[in-house]
Amino acid sequence: MNIFRLTGDLSHLAAIIILLLKIWKTRSCAGISGKSQILFALVFTTRYLDLLTSFISLYNTVMKIIYIGCAYATVYLIYMKFKATYDGNHDTFRVEFLVVPVGGLAFLVNHDFSPLEILWTFSIYLESVAILPQLFMISKTGEAETITTHYLFFLGLYRALYLINWIWRFYFEGFFDMIAIVAGVVQTILYCDFFYLYVTKVLKGKKLSLPA
């Protein structure tokens, strides 16, 4: 495992922990898109079904279980434990416009037309756009809490580091996965505007807002 994948995994884990701690400590999920979190839970569920069929390493298995567990814990906190604080009036992105096209694309463009491979491909495509409901929610409310922006920053950093990981693997291992790379590029592009606002505003102590 190279340093870019490891730091990418740690950034991803940091994002998830930041979000969970934010919800738990404030006893509120205000400003968090439940729809994005459901999509991420769906991403991890469909991607890590290979837990039932193969063993790669202890690190790999533990991280997959943590991602799945944390994803469903977040959904539980938003829709059950702290449901009264959930801002459903602003979390209105039509996720079917993401899930249905992504599902169709996974059937048409994949490495192997088998159930596990199609579900893995579906998860890769879906992850690239799963943050859209959260960004849409921020644009509707006009701003985001600082802790929420830290979550989004580490989530975007994870994907950017994974892109570098794919480039590293291509040059040093001869490994090339077009599906993962294209999806990673799309996801990183979606974060570009946010990254700019994060650096120019949040890191200077100002609140982040996205143009409506």
Number of domains in the chain: 1
Residue 139 lies in a domain: yes
Its domain, for residue 144, covers 3-88+95-201
Three-state SS at 31? coil
pLDDT in tens, the chain (212 residues): 789 999 999 999 999 999 999 999 999 999 999 999 999 999 999 999 999 999 999 999 999 999 999 999 999 999 999 999 999 999 999 999 999 999 999 999 999 999 999 999 999 999 999 999 998 998 888 777 887 888 989 998 998 899 899 889 888 888 888 898 889 888 888 888 788 777 776 767 776 665 55
pLDDT computed for residue 196 by the predictor: 77
pLDDT computed for residue 2 by the predictor: 86
Residue 208 lies in a domain: no
Residue 209 lies in a domain: no
Residue 207 lies in a domain: no
Residue 30 lies in a domain: yes
Q: Are 81 and 22 in contact (CB under 8 A)?
A: no
Q: Are 207 and 201 in contact (CB under 8 A)?
A: yes
Indicate the pTM of the whole model: 0.91
| Cα 99 off chain centre by | 14
